[in-house]
Amino acid sequence: MAAAMEIEVSADDVAYEEDVLRDPFRLSGWLRYLSARRAAPPAKRAAIYERALRALPGSYKLWHAYLTELGDAARALPVTHAAHAGLDAAFERALAAGMSRMPRVWHMYASSLLHQRLLTRARHVLDRALRSLPVTQHHHVWPLHLRLASLPDCPAPTAVRVHGRHLQFDPDHEEDFIAFLVSAGRWRDAAQHLAAAIDDEGFVSVKGTTKRQLLLDLCGLLAQHPEDVAGMPVDGILRGSIRKFPEEAGVLWTSLASHYARRGLHGKARDVFEEAMTTATTVKDFRMVFDAYLHFEHAMAAAELELCQADAVDVQDCWLADRDSTDLAMARLERLLERRPELLNSVLLRQNPHDVQAWHERAKIFHKDPARHAATYAEAVRTVDPAKATGKPPHTLWLALAKMYEDRGSVGCARDVLHRATQANFTAAEHLAAVYCEWAHMELRHQDPERAIDLIRRATTPPSIEPTTHAAAAGGEDVRVKLHRCLKLWLVYLNLMTTHGSLESTCAVYDKMHDLGVVTPLLVLDHATLLEQHGRFEDAFRVYERGVRSFKHPHADAIWEAYLTKFVQRHGKSRPERVRDLFQAAAVYLRYARFGEDFGLASRAMKVYVDAASAVPASDRLGVYEVYVARATELYGLLKARDVYQQAIVGGGLPDEGARAMCVGFADLEIVLGEVARARALYAYAAAFTDPKVYPEFWKRRNDFEVLHGDEGTFREMLRMKRTMAAVARDGAGARVGVIVVLARLNVPAPRVMNPRESGNEDVGTDGVPPN
């Protein structure tokens, strides 16, 4: 051994030898000696280390340096070389000398043994390290334990025990342990640990893995390895997970069914699929389960068909041969496909049992099965709460059920359904009115108009005070209290009385509608037309008068139109004063003016035009003045038209747009009369409030006028004014632009300027002059 080895002392070693011999228990002397002989042969350095350790057996520095050098030297040699045995012996001597409290020594020893593939010895050393070291230093040892367990040569039971012991030391190792169990094929142990982690409320993944992902991993294990997890409560685990994670119900049900299918329990798998489809609450889960169920039935049918074909040669002539199993598998597959719409609709109804549209779609599925069709609608009217109904109005369910009975000839059952519908707690009076209307139409279809009229009469009768008071005391207003004001009921009532009643009864219905305030302008016109058809003109006029009192503009306009037209046709010449009063009451000035012209009252018509121009809104005055000019020209000639133009431009209250149009029209009139100077003055007046960029067509028109009727001076003056107006519009400032040429006989006042509210120029003063 190196301890007994003699070494040759050179002249250079004398000083160091004397130093260590003088004080062998001083560590610094030995370290200087070793540092100075760094290049010495390994045997000499080993002898120095051995001498130093005999003097200082508890020195961690010496043992660590010595073991490191031995390990580096042995690592380059085969594991069967004697150097490895010497290294292991040195480690044992170090531990015996007191290095058992040093985790680094244990780590180096175990690493060396793992390098030599001495797994059992390494495991024993690591166990000794855990027993020797305090718990606070065990984290230095466990990585080597896990490294040992991950080696291919390590037996699976040993690896599992190592990971299990480490899990007790470090609970955060749970996910790594599960991953190891999966990689080692220990499916049952992995499934148990996954289930425990999912059930543990305090479990928090250090890797950020959610319990949802852990659950999916567990499902995969249980579904793909049913034989390996035999004995585990798979059914209880997955059903409990469904209750705990309802958003993953589709995956969990599919995994449970796959588990039974892989175990050969096909009937149990079908039961799970059926239960999953009848309890699914989302379309996503239903589709997932249905697709898996369909794939399962396809596989079963294909297997039966393949088995039948394989056995066909052997049993073809045997009287025992039958294809019941194959036919049954195909029948199951076809039945599953047929049930899909019904099952999907059930999911929608579980989501919202008050979805009226879903109930209608469910009834359509059973339209070929009268019993289930009727049962579906009966269940719908029992289930749907009108206050929570969505999709369609709830009364449509009652109407569809009644229509079904009617189509099958059970009119009595249809009447009973409609009667019960009238007692339902609808939230809108329109829904109850629709039930009564459909009931009346059904009676008409079966040639019983008297029953229909009596039904609608009862529905439109105002309720007594007692039901109203009772509904108010109950904390709300019953829809039956408002039923008599539903216009839809009254329209049906009118149609019934018009078709099967008398004139008096029909007019009585119209009068009741007037009294209740449910009449419309169109109904007023219909009422008056009905009376006119029977020659009762004065009654029709009274209806018109009542209608115009009941409605305001613009709803009364159509009634006034019809009233004035009918009255003028009948009493225009005989009662002109009454006609004038009606026109004034209706404020229909233009029609009144036309009436005056037709009956020879032209001067009164002109006055009506003046009144109309001052009465209508400013935006409508241009139209009035255009009609006024046309009628004045036709009745009195161009001189009167000049007065109308001047009145419109100067005092007509027209906005700039209307005044500009009047100026252009006035100028055209003067050009026709040959008064070019007057026309130029009008163009100049209009130009004072016209921006060339905003109204280029006006300036083009004036340009054409100067080309045809002007000279160089007038044209230059037109260009100057155009530039001035462009500058005023651009800069928002400038002197007021006056009229260039104003004839005294035109008697036109100072020109207008652009209205600040219309031109967008807020810098213009209130008097039309831009501020300085």
**3-state class of 695 per DSSP?**
coil
State the pLDDT at residue 356: 93
SS (H, E, C) 420-453: HHHCCCCCCHHHHHHHHHHHHHHHHHCCCHHHHH
State the pLDDT at residue 291: 93
State the pLDDT at residue 153: 60
Mean predicted confidence (pLDDT) in 197-214: 69
State the pLDDT at residue 113: 79
The dihedral built from the CA positions of residue 367, 370, 375 and 377, taken in this order, carries a sign that is: positive
Locate tokens 């070291």: which residue? Answer: 133
Higher pLDDT, 744 or 470: 470
Contact, 97 vs 57, CB < 8 A? yes
Q: Residue 25 — pLDDT band, cuts 50, 70, 90?
A: confident
Rounded CA separation 46/36 (Å): 14
Question: Which residue from 747, 743, 692, 753 is spatially nearest to 720, judged by alpha carbons?
Answer: 692
Give Cα separations from 594 to 26, 65, 599 (angstroms): 136, 126, 9
Question: Which residue from 367, 345, 340 is spatially nearest to 356, judged by alpha carbons?
Answer: 345
Rounded CA separation 587/731 (Å): 45
Helix (H) or strand (E) holding 338: helix 324-351
Q: Can you give the pTM of this predicted structure?
A: 0.59
State the pLDDT at residue 8: 65
List Cβ neighbours of 334 (8 Å cut-off, separation of 6 or more). Answer: none
State the pLDDT at residue 551: 82
Whether 49 shows a pLDDT value over 90: the answer reads no
pLDDT in tens, 564-623: 677 666 664 545 555 555 554 544 443 444 444 444 455 555 655 555 555 566 666 666
Tokens of 18: 């004397």
State the pLDDT at residue 346: 92
State the pLDDT at residue 383: 92
- Output the CA angle 594-597-600, nearest 5 degrees: 150
Q: Which of 132-146, 173-187, 456-470, 646-660 is the least confident region?
A: 173-187
Q: Residue 736 — pLDDT band, cuts 50, 70, 90?
A: very low
Rounded CA separation 206/173 (Å): 9
Most confident of the following: 365-379, 542-556, 725-739: 365-379
Whether 759 shows a pLDDT value over 50: the answer reads no
List Cβ neighbours of 354 (8 Å cut-off, separation of 6 or more). Answer: 383, 384, 385, 388, 389, 390
Q: Residue 354 — pLDDT band, cuts 50, 70, 90?
A: very high
State the pLDDT at residue 236: 80
Most confident of the following: 110-119, 158-167, 515-524, 598-607: 515-524
Contact, 432 vs 395, CB < 8 A? yes
pLDDT in tens, 479-498: 888 888 898 999 999 999 88
State the pLDDT at residue 35: 80
CB atoms within 10 A of CB 151: 13
Rounded CA separation 341/338 (Å): 7
Rounded CA separation 213/534 (Å): 83
List Cβ neighbours of 643 (8 Å cut-off, separation of 6 or more). Answer: 632
State the pLDDT at residue 376: 92
DSSP symbol at 461: S
Contact, 252 vs 275, CB < 8 A? no
The dihedral built from the CA positions of residue 479, 481, 482 and 488, taken in this order, carries a sign that is: positive
Q: At what angle do helices 537-550 and 521-533 cross, to 10 degrees?
A: 170
396 by Cβ neighbours in 10 Å (0-12 / 13-18 / 19+) ranks as: buried
- For residue 576, say if its preceding peptide bond is cis, omega within 30 degrees of 0: no
State the pLDDT at residue 618: 64
Question: Which residue from 570, 556, 667, 553 is spatially nearest to 617, judged by alpha carbons?
Answer: 553
State the pLDDT at residue 605: 57
List Cβ neighbours of 573 (8 Å cut-off, separation of 6 or more). Answer: 599
State the pLDDT at residue 466: 59
**For residue 390, what are the β-bridge partners?**
355
State the pLDDT at residue 653: 67
Higher pLDDT, 34 or 620: 34
Higher pLDDT, 3 or 242: 242
pLDDT in tens, 106-144: 888 878 877 788 777 877 887 787 788 888 877 777 676
DSSP symbol at 390: B
Contact, 285 vs 249, CB < 8 A? yes
Q: Residue 770 — pLDDT band, cuts 50, 70, 90?
A: very low
Q: Which of 315-324, 557-566, 705-714 is the least confident region?
A: 315-324
CB atoms within 10 A of CB 104: 15
Which CB contacts under 8 angstroms, 24+ apart, belong to 714-723?
714/680, 718/687, 721/684, 721/687, 722/687, 722/692
SS (H, E, C) 136-205: HHHHHCHHHHHHHHHCCCCCHHHHHHHHHHHHHHCHHHHHHHHHHHHHCCCHHHHHHHHHHHHHCCCCCC
State the pLDDT at residue 71: 83
Question: Which residue from 152, 89, 93 is spatially nearest to 119, judged by alpha carbons?
Answer: 152
Rounded CA separation 680/691 (Å): 18
Mean predicted confidence (pLDDT) in 243-270: 86
Tokens of 475: 């904390």
Whether 743 shows a pLDDT value over 60: the answer reads no
List Cβ neighbours of 486 (8 Å cut-off, separation of 6 or more). Answer: 429, 430, 432, 433, 518
Mean predicted confidence (pLDDT) in 299-319: 66
Q: Residue 748 — pLDDT band, cuts 50, 70, 90?
A: very low
Q: Which of 365-374, 514-523, 590-599 is the least confident region?
A: 590-599
Q: Which of 197-206, 446-455, 639-648 is the least confident region?
A: 197-206
- Cα torsion through 391, 395, 400, 405, rounded to 10: 160
pLDDT in tens, 631-644: 667 666 666 677 77
Mean predicted confidence (pLDDT) in 658-663: 82
Residue type, 307: L
The DSSP string of 587-610 is T-HHHHHHHHHHTT-HHHHHHHHH
SS (H, E, C) 102-113: CHHHHHHHHHHH
State the pLDDT at residue 739: 35
Whether 670 shows a pLDDT value over 90: the answer reads no
Tell how far CA 122 is from the center of its chain: 63
Tokens of 591: 């029609």
Contact, 753 vs 736, CB < 8 A? yes
Over the chain, what is the mean pLDDT? 76
Higher pLDDT, 573 or 478: 478
Rounded CA separation 743/479 (Å): 76
Mean predicted confidence (pLDDT) in 353-364: 92
